[in-house]
Amino acid sequence: MQIRQPAVPRAPRLRAAASLLAVPVLLAFAGARPLRAQEGPGAVLIEADAAWIEPGSVIEPAWILVRDGRQVWVGRRPPQEARNARRVRWEGTVAPALVDAWSGLLPADLAAARDSRPYLAVRDALPADLPGADPELAARARAQRAAGVSAVWLGLPRSGLHRGRGTAAVLGAADLPVAAGREALEFQLGGRSDVSGKRLADAERFAALLEQALDYRDQREELPEKLEKYAQDLEDWKKKLEEYAGRKKELEEKGDSEGLKKLKEPQRPARPQPPARNPWFEQVLRGLDGELAFRVEANDLYDLRRLLEIREEHDLELVVVGGREADLLAEELAEAEVPVVLPVAANALPPAQEGRSLVERYRRLVEAGVEVALASGGSGTGAGLLLIRAGELVAGGADPEAVWASLTTIPARLLGLEEGHGRLGRGRAGDLLLFQGRSPFDASRPFRVHTATQGWKP
Amino acid sequence: MSVLLLSLALGLGAAPPQAPGQPLVLQADGVLTADGTLLEDASVLLREDLVLAVGTSVPVPRNARTRRVHGILAPGLVDAFSQAGLADAAVEPARRRTPELRAADSLDPDAELWEQALAAGVGAVHLTPRPARLFSGWTALARPGAGGPVLLRPRARPVVSLGSLAFDRVLGPTALAGLLDDFEREAGALAAWRETGVLVVVDSAEAIQAALARAREQDVELAFVCLGDWPGYAGALPAGSRVCLPVLEPGAWPARQIEGWRLLHGRGLRIAFGTFGSRAWAPGALRDTALAFSRATGDPAAALAAVTTEAAAFAGSPRAGAIAPGRRADLVLWTAHPLDASARVQAVLSGGRSVPVAPPPADLLEMPGEPE
């Protein structure tokens, strides 16, 4: 058995002495209250052989206390305040749960939506995290959890340039995704399969969209100035109108019909109108202002190169998703500090492109200094492949620490969840991977997932 | 180049050629035994294409050569049901019954499959005729080798198809009812196959029940190949049945299929995996599926068996799929346990002979596995 009730943890001597002094006090209360009631029902103290804190940082042995869904203690010694937590011994290693940088874990109606409005936000369409709110989605989320995933990126799976606004999410107590972290504007370049050449224009359409959004802002920003001028014109018009009325009266009194014919009434100036409100342009402007990132799925070299030019022109915060040929621009991506989300499930290359396997492409990107996040690929069902493909990257010569970072710290940062996910530490989410053997990639050894919101299940 | 690397990895590079009949002892960091147990620091005694002994204290014959290799020695994986590697679909469209058709006769020695199979650590492939006729023909067992595939059993098992693939608009039947009616009338033919047992291809619970009923009457052992939406009907299989399920398609992780594995594993079925058609085949699909199965069920031994011993038994081969005395010397040297996704094939011994595998990563020479 891998899990057993451990011996009482070693505590500092001072603590032991204090405990002895406390015995009479405890005995006095023993009949009045249960001894095991201090921690929440889900509090669990895990004693493990080791813990992977983050890539490159391991502690041995390790004690991790999870309470109320959060890690409240991670250290080489047991915490002093967890005597009543459920204790389990894990003869192996504890690691943080994975972060899937591109998942399709969406409600079925949202995933199938044909509504083409580009400003739709995933965050607004997620069900409440309540039991029974979306049983089908909860079942898929449980499969993600079983694969070791605790946080995901959710984007609309549209084929076309505009994909709306995606969001990061964590898996909640009822196994439903709960929006958290960052949102981003999502686009897809070259996604259409027509042969008319339109797909090649996607990058230009994307560039044009940014320009249109800036024009829209210019128009809105010019309005106050125009209104100010309008107010002045109105004053001028009033004066001219008074002059006109006086002159007219004068000519009428004189009976100068010829003069009256020549006299013209001054025209009232037109009030400048604001441009029609465009919610999509307004979201794009939020991206251009750095409030939202741009996640752009682009696979072909042409699109990727043009995307980098657009990024430089507008100083975009850009994340490349897909990146099938991103390795061919690895140095440029690294220099521009553009991260790449590489799907492990659906990123196959034509057979003719030998030597450019996922392993080769991953290695080239990482060696060039590109931040690479691994992802299941937007299908909503591929999370189980994450650890398998990651292990194959290691087998192919990729640096194990880099691969582990691509599953944890890097996607957590890209999703804006770095404070709570992707590494072990006090205050972080209590979803944990527990594995034996060399790494979590080893399916020949026991492996389990501790879900913080659902407590320890033997 | 790859031959050289392979030889180095097996520690055979610096040694003189092995004399015919000379025993060879491979001492490895670990050896996976037939029940999936990993024996650490164990040895395998081989002579020609036969395993003579396995264990942590194998007696070394006086004339034996001994080589130390770094990594885990595992049996070659077995693909339990495949139509890849055949020159055509192994089917006769003009005839309603082809009971004597042999998949072996369609074997394509030039198919890319064989090289891919070696690189993926596959030691044997159970080749099957296309199950497009009630009596489809005979399967064959072949192993990839240095000079192409080698037929091990040209007539392994007969195939009976009770699935929709056997519908034929021209020759009939065109529906399950007609197919089962044909089967009822001709089920007496099963008795001729008591010795080999019969593979029954199904895609419905009705077909399973019909096959089981006739098999009981004829006292014939059945093994089932489940096509189509098998999670929806495979629950009709009784505990202890042998069943071949398709590998995961590349990039897929269907939750329904994963749940189906759990259900069938929990019911005690003896599961093997097959790549089925060429479309699903990809290097490593067999092992990927075993990895996923291990994670899904928490039973690494069953996962390994599904692509080794159970798959070999499904193919009717008593000598493939395990490192055990009397079994074929089809061994694969992995850098770690083959169910560790970060393990890779270092070298392959097929029928007792080292064979070149696809070009390994450039840094293989720096990995454990170099000769001491």
* pLDDT band at residue B336 under the 50/70/90 scheme: very high
CA distance B97 to chain A (A): 37
Find the length of chain A.
458
A1 vs B220: which has the higher pLDDT: B220
**Neighbour tally for A23: CB within 10 Å:** 9
Q: Is A222 helix (H, G, I), strand (E, B) or coil?
A: helix
DSSP state of B110: T
CB pairs under 8 A between A and B: 104
Cβ–Cβ < 8 Å for A384, B292: yes
A322 touches chain B (CB under 8 A): no
Return the bridge partners of B274, or none: B246
**Neighbour tally for A95: CB within 10 Å:** 25
Residue showing tokens 């291809």: B201
Label residues A1-20 b or e (16+ Cβ within 10 Å = b).
eebeeeeeeeeeeeeeeeee
What is the token pair recorded at B307? 């692509």
Q: Residue A302 phi/psi, 5° resolution?
A: -60, -50
Structural element, H or E, at residue B183: helix B176-186
Task: Please give the model's pTM, rounded to 2 decimal places.
Answer: 0.84
Q: Which of residues 266-295 of B touch A (CB under 8 A)?
A: 284, 288, 290-292, 294-295
Nearest of A56, A89, A298, A34 to residue A191 by alpha carbon: A298
What is the token pair recorded at A104? 């399709």
Interface contact A392-B255, CB threshold 8 A:
no
Does residue A195 register a pLDDT over 70?
no
Write the residue in B251, B342, B363 that is nearest to A439 by C-beta: B342
Q: Which residues of A touch B335 (CB under 8 A)?
A: 395
What are the pLDDT digits (tens) for B135-173? 999 999 999 877 789 999 999 999 999 999 999 999 989
Could you give the percent of chain A with pLDDT greater than 70? 85
Q: How far apart are CA A442 and CA B329, in angstroms?
A: 26
Across all residues in chain A, what is the average pLDDT? 85
* pLDDT band at residue A20 under the 50/70/90 scheme: very low
Nearest of B116, B123, B134, B118 to residue B80 by alpha carbon: B123
pLDDT at B17: 53
What are the pLDDT digits (tens) for A52-68? 999 999 999 999 999 88
What is the token pair recorded at B155? 């007539």
Does residue A353 register a pLDDT over 90?
no
Does residue B331 register a pLDDT over 60?
yes
B30 touches chain A (CB under 8 A): no
What are the pLDDT digits (tens) for A34-47? 334 344 447 899 99
Which of B40, B72, B340, B364 best probes binding to A when mutated, by most A CB atoms within 10 angstroms? B340
A443 touches chain B (CB under 8 A): yes
Q: Which CATH number describes the domain made up of A98-197+276-421?
A: 3.20.20.140
* pLDDT band at residue B214 under the 50/70/90 scheme: very high
pLDDT at B281: 58
A382 touches chain B (CB under 8 A): yes
What are the pLDDT digits (tens) for B215-274? 999 999 999 999 999 999 999 999 999 999 999 877 777 878 888 999 999 999 999 999
pLDDT at B342: 94
Cβ–Cβ < 8 Å for A174, A131: yes
Does residue B120 register a pLDDT over 80?
yes
Helices marked H in A175-278: 202-254, 257-262
A406 touches chain B (CB under 8 A): no
Query: Where in chain A are the domains?
Result: 3-97, 98-197+276-421
Describe the strand order of the beta sheet including B135-138 as a list of residue ranges: B135-138, B158-162, B198-202, B222-226, B242-246, B270-274
Could you give the percent of chain B with pLDDT greater than 70? 88
DSSP state of A28: H
Q: Residue B121 phi/psi, 5° resolution?
A: 80, 20
Span A263-277, average pLDDT: 90
What are the pLDDT digits (tens) for A123-138? 998 999 999 999 989 9
**DSSP state letters, B139-165:** -EEEE--TTS-EEEESS--EEEEESGG
Write down the ipTM of this complex. Answer: 0.85
Nearest of A303, A286, A85, A25 to residue A188 by alpha carbon: A303
Span A413-436, average pLDDT: 95
Q: Which domains does chain B have, with CATH numbers?
A: 2-75+321-366 (2.30.40.10), 77-314 (3.20.20.140)
What is the token pair recorded at A32? 């009045």
* Residues ≥6 apart with Cβ < 8 Å to B224: B199, B200, B201, B202, B208, B211, B237, B241, B242, B243, B244
* Residues ≥6 apart with Cβ < 8 Å to A57: none
Which of B72, B253, B256, B345 best probes binding to A when mutated, by most A CB atoms within 10 angstroms? B253
* Residues ≥6 apart with Cβ < 8 Å to B175: B167
Q: How far apart are CA A339 and CA A365, in angstroms?
A: 10
pLDDT at A146: 86
- Give A3-97's CATH code, choosing from 2.30.40, 1.10.575, 2.30.29, 2.60.40: 2.30.40
Does residue B8 register a pLDDT over 90?
no
Q: How far apart are CA A106 and CA A378, in angstroms?
A: 10
A442 touches chain B (CB under 8 A): yes
Domain A3-97 and domain A98-197+276-421 have a common topology: no
What are the pLDDT digits (tens) for B50-63? 999 999 999 999 89
Q: How far apart are CA A248 and CA B223, in angstroms?
A: 110
* Residues ≥6 apart with Cβ < 8 Å to A70: A427, A428, A429, A430, A452
For residue B143, how many C-alpha atoms fall within 13 Å in the half-sphere facing its CB?
28
Across all residues in chain B, what is the average pLDDT? 87
Rounded to the nearest 5 percent, the helix, strand and coil shares of chain B are 30, 30, 45
Does residue A6 register a pLDDT over 50?
no
Helices marked H in A255-377: 257-262, 279-288, 301-314, 330-335, 358-368
Q: How far apart are CA B103 and CA B100, in angstroms?
A: 10
* Residues ≥6 apart with Cβ < 8 Å to A325: A299, A300, A301, A304
